[in-house]
Amino acid sequence: MFYEKDEKGYADVLPGVKRKTLVHGTNTLFTEFRLKAGHELPMHSHPEEQTGYLVSGAIRLTIGNEVREVRPGDCWCVPGNVPHGAMVSEDSVAIEVFSPVRNDYLPK
């Protein structure tokens, strides 16, 4: 599967949070998040493991009981079923991989 950059197809997840699944395989799903400054991703959890990379911007990321200021080039890993959330400090772009595939993120 290939993906060519396209500005269409972003889904509004929450105010200030957009998501687009770029590619997926049998075991992994690759998603881009666009996050607007001043918005929050509330604490939540899901069974899938989630690894991420901040492309641009700044976020305050909470994973379990640990809180970090994340800047471009920083990475993280959220084990399945661990609560996590974020405050968006600056307009940001994050790339995240989920394993196993999140069926709710598959393109329709």
Q: What is the pLDDT of residues 17-75, one digit of tens each?
A: 999 999 999 999 999 999 999 999 999 999 999 999 999 999 999 999 999 999 999 99
How many domains is the chain partitioned into structurally?
Answer: 1
Residues spanned by the domain of 80: 12-100
What's the pLDDT band for 3 if we cut at 50, 70, 90?
Answer: confident
Q: Is the peptide bond before 100 cis (omega within 30 degrees of 0)?
A: yes
Q: Say if 68 falls within a structural domain.
A: yes
Q: Say if 88 falls within a structural domain.
A: yes
| CATH number, position 31 | 2.60.120.10
99, 70 contact by CB (below 8 A): no
Count Cβ atoms below 10 Å from residue 57 Cβ, excluding itself: 19
